[in-house]
Structure 1
Amino acid sequence: MINSLAKIDLKKHREQFPGLKNKSYFNFGGQGTMPQAAIEAILETHQYIQEVGPFSGKINAWLIQRSTWLRESLAEELGTTAATITLTENVTAGCNIALWGIDWQPGDRLLMTDCEHPGVIATVEEIARRFQVEVAICPILDTLNRGNATEVIEQYLTANTRLVVLSHLLWNTGQVLPLKEIVEVCHNYQTNNKPIRVLADAAQSAGSLALNLPESGVDYYAFTGHKWFCGAAGVGGLYISEAAFDSLQPTFIGWRGVKLDSQGQPQAWKSDGQKFEVATSAYPEYEGLRSAIAVHQAWGTTQQRYQTICELSQYLWSSLQQIDRVECLKDTAPEAGLVSFQIADIKHQQLVETLEKQGFFLRTIAKPDCIRACVHYLTLPEEIERLVEAISNSLSH
């Protein structure tokens, strides 16, 4: 029975999310819908800061405590410790910290998949230009329904490869890469007696998959709070493993990342994830994300939420398969909440716009050309049924 895992009623739980009212929302991979508690936490934090006094000693200590609590909340969701978490603005910021923090040398090689986000691609291209780094692209897209992603990546590793950049859950096709297996292959492929590091773009995996990052062995894991965690835009994070921490140096530097002496002068880097934090941030949004995570945790564990997401995505995937002219990119049931599909003889963007007028929110993807629908544990089976019916009706006219 779909959505039967939680101890509390889902429809009642959904009432906390104003963005789910009067629409059928399938865009969690772009931006999640914030719970009312998160919105109120942001507003209350702004008001409290003004009442106490911005930049007062009391409010500064209060904000430091709240930042610590957010790291702890994120760490709990990711199966790690707060010391491994750097608070950032979004996935791209986290990826930039890792990408620019490596001591690149001319002739080094960076391996990237052919399914990465434009923000990461552009960063890699600039690093290649600036440091004379060789960039290789491995064909992961072709492994969606055949082949072995781990073996493909292993075939592209060389003696001068320093870093592998991939997405744990591909944003375009919905494929979940076997992260632990890939990391093991990269770490075992020693270059100059050093393991090849792995940077994972976790835009679609954090908040949707059930994660234990230390167990995966991944070196850097960049995520955001505004997608599957349903927080406000502007808050994300970067996980850095204990083994990889000392190999990464800050590029953007500010007072939050350093220890100060009695004269307020920088003396040393901080010894945990705060080392890579810079300066003043959107602290009220921190409270919003922490509140959003608490709302999710009230419904079920990360494993329960993930199991429900998979049940719902399988329901959507199998229902779409019944419509003539519709073909899902994956030929087996999805392992996550992204369901990408193509429709013959129609402009995908035109259909998405038509559906939005009817209250269904989806998006198109350029490569491969397709429509992407995202289901969360918050999605109702009847919403899926209505979406499938709306698509079918649109194609019959």
Structure 2
Amino acid sequence: MTSISVAKTRLHLHRQQFPALVNKTYFNYGGQGPMPQVAMDAITQAQAYIQEIGPFGTEVGAWILQEVKAMRVAIASELHVPPETITLTENVTVGCNIAMWGIDWHPGDHLLLSDCEHPGIVAIAQEIGRRFAVEVTTCPLMTTLNEGDPVAVIAQHLRPNTRLVVLSHILWNTGQVLPLDKIVKACRHNQTRLLIDAAQSVGSLPLNLTELGADFYAFTGHKWLCGPAGIGGLYVRPEVRESLQPTFIGWRSVITNSQGQPVDWYPDGKRYEVATSNYPLYTGLREAIAVHQQWGTAQERYQQICHNSEYLWRRLVSLPHVHLLRTSPPESGLVSFQLTQNNPQVHLQFVNFLQSKRLFTRTIADPSCVRACVHYFTLESEIDQLVEGIQEWLVVSG
């Protein structure tokens, strides 16, 4: 058996751990990843165990402390940061809320976004602007997808009073990977904090947040890590932790005295956590992370993602009436394209048609396009099926 045959056999065996892949051809990893069976089993077993020994008591309390610690360590290991820098949250948006509301805003301050941020983040910024008389502006990064310098664009829009810049590491609509190390330097030079929406990067890119140096990095476990919905995190750079005040507060945030009264914040990422969580989800995400690590390193997984996205990009380039947003192969697993009849209604009809064929993609509103995501375990034969589905639509739609 050749090395290529061995690799294909290994990949097919690996994919068998994901039940959702059995009855569909899936390209929505950027929305929600399919959970491996071992993660689902771990969640069920943990729920049963909690009921068996608790659900409230000394023994279950010790188990919860152990699970929380293990979850923090597993995430920190993936991101190459100390565990104490990690706050456990429910999703990316919660992490962004913690960072954005925790800044001591003053009237006249400036908050800078890109024009490619998720509506949830834009909504937070708008409310901060309204409540604290902060000026919120955007810089045009969408036009830098194929040419131009995103770092220069960001630097041009920084002001002396820019308190915070909020960007995505991988832009969720176009799939562009921003040069985060250079952006960090530009923000540091301006004495501006930098928050990264990492919805599309954690579980996709190989990451070392200690080296990258972003102040805040908010992520989730349910997309590229293929964990359960409802568990995510926020990395806070240790040097800026004392300047970021907790907004949502609970018993997990504070140190208490012998009378049970709060006396201080925890000195680490726990200070931004609130109260009771669905702890079995922690077990599930740890198992999902372990499944990915069994296949290969973060760098190896990313290389395979790029291989698959280039294969999809090249197949789509050859199709008539299909326009790729990128003029060169993507640097991420997100591949966005438009049909000649470029309007949202047509794109929605197109996505619904594909789903009727068990081909799962999604529409994006701005820019109006269709997004297909490939993971390291996506098969070239699946990509071929997607292309065949697109070709069928082009015939049917005339």
Same fold (TM over 0.5): yes
Report how far residue 81 of structure 1 moved. 1.5
Residue type matched to 1:272 in 2? D
- Matched residue, 2:386: 387
CA contact (8 A) 1:3 1:10 kept: no
Matches within 5 A, 1:113-128: 113-128=114-129
Would the alpha carbon gap of residues 275 and 28 (structure 1) be closer, same or farther in structure 2, given more than 3 Å must change?
same
Go from structure 1 to structure 2 and tell me whether the alpha carbon gap of 1:246 and 1:8 turns closer, same or farther (over 3 Å shift).
Answer: farther
Equivalent residue number for residue 311 of structure 2 = 315
CA deviation vs aligned residue, 1:202-252 (integer Å, no higher than 9, x gap): 000111011011111100000001100111111100000112111101000
| Counterpart position of 1:188 | 189
CA separation of 1:136 and 1:329: change in aligned 2, threshold 3 A: same
Amino acid at match of 2:71: L
Deviation at 1:3, TM superposition (A): 8.7
1:163 aligns with 2:164: yes
2:227 to 231, 234, 237: 231
Residue 19 (structure 1) aligned with residue 15 (structure 2): no
C-alpha distance in structure 1 between counterparts of 2:101 and 2:361, whole Å: 34
- Equivalent runs, 1:305-344 vs 2, <5 Å: 305-344=301-340
Structure 1 distance, partners of 2:136, 2:17, is 46
- Unaligned 5+ segments in structure 2 are none
Give 1:51-62 correspondences, 5 Å limit: 51-62=52-63
Structure 1 CA distance for aligned equivalents of residues 26 and 15 of structure 2: 12
State whether structure 2 residue 97 is matched by structure 1 residue 96.
yes
Q: Which residue of 1 aligns with 2:36?
A: 35
Cα distance, 1:76 vs structure 2: 1.1
- Identify the match of residue 291 of structure 1 among 284, 287, 290: 287
Paired positions, count: 392
Q: Name the residue aligned to 1:109.
A: 110
Identity of aligned residues (%): 58
Instruction: Find the aligned partners of 1:142 and 1:70 in 2 and give their Cα distance.
Output: 39
1:227/1:51 CA distance change after superposition, 3 Å:
same
1:213 paired residue number: 209
Sort the Cα spacing of 1:215 and 1:284 in 2 relative to 1 into closer, same or farther, 3 A. same
TM-score with structure 2 setting the length: 0.96
Q: In structure 1, what is the Cα distance between the partners aligned to 2:8 and 2:361?
A: 29
Stretch deviating more after TM superposition (332-341 or 6-15)? 6-15
Whichever residue aligns with residue 67 of structure 1, its letter is V
2: CA distance, partners of 1:236 / 1:267: 27
Per-residue deviation, 1:273:
0.6
CA distance in 2 between partners of 1:306 and 1:30 (Å): 18
Once the two structures are superposed, what CA deviation does each residue of 1:45-91 show, in whole Å capped at 9, x if it has no partner?
A: 10000000111111111111111111111111111111110000000
Q: Counterpart in 1 of 2:173?
A: 172
What's the offset of the Cα at 1:345?
2.3
Q: Which runs of 5+ in 1 are unaligned?
A: 190-194
SS at match of 2:137: strand
Return the alpha-carbon distance in structure 1 between the equivalents of residues 6 and 239 of structure 2: 36
Normalised to the residue count of structure 1, the TM-score between the two structures is 0.96
Who is 1:78 aligned against?
Answer: 79
Aligned match of 1:396: 395
- Indicate if the aligned counterparts of 1:6 and 1:304 stay in contact, CA closer than 8 A: no
1:4 positional shift: 8.9
What amino acid maps onto 2:325 in structure 1?
L
The whole-number CA distance in structure 2 between the counterparts of 1:187 and 1:221 is 15
Q: Determine the C-alpha separation between the residues in 2 that align with 1:218 and 1:87.
A: 18
User: Alignment partner of 2:46: what SS?
Assistant: helix
> 2:275: which partner in 1?
279
Q: Partners in 2 of 1:45 and 1:124 — Cα distance?
A: 38
Greater CA drift, 259-268 or 20-29:
259-268
Structure 2 CA distance for aligned equivalents of residues 6 and 87 of structure 1: 36
Deviation by residue 1:286-334 (Cα, 9 ceiling, x = unmatched)? 1111111011111111111001000000000010000001111011110
The equivalent of 1:356 in structure 2 is: 355
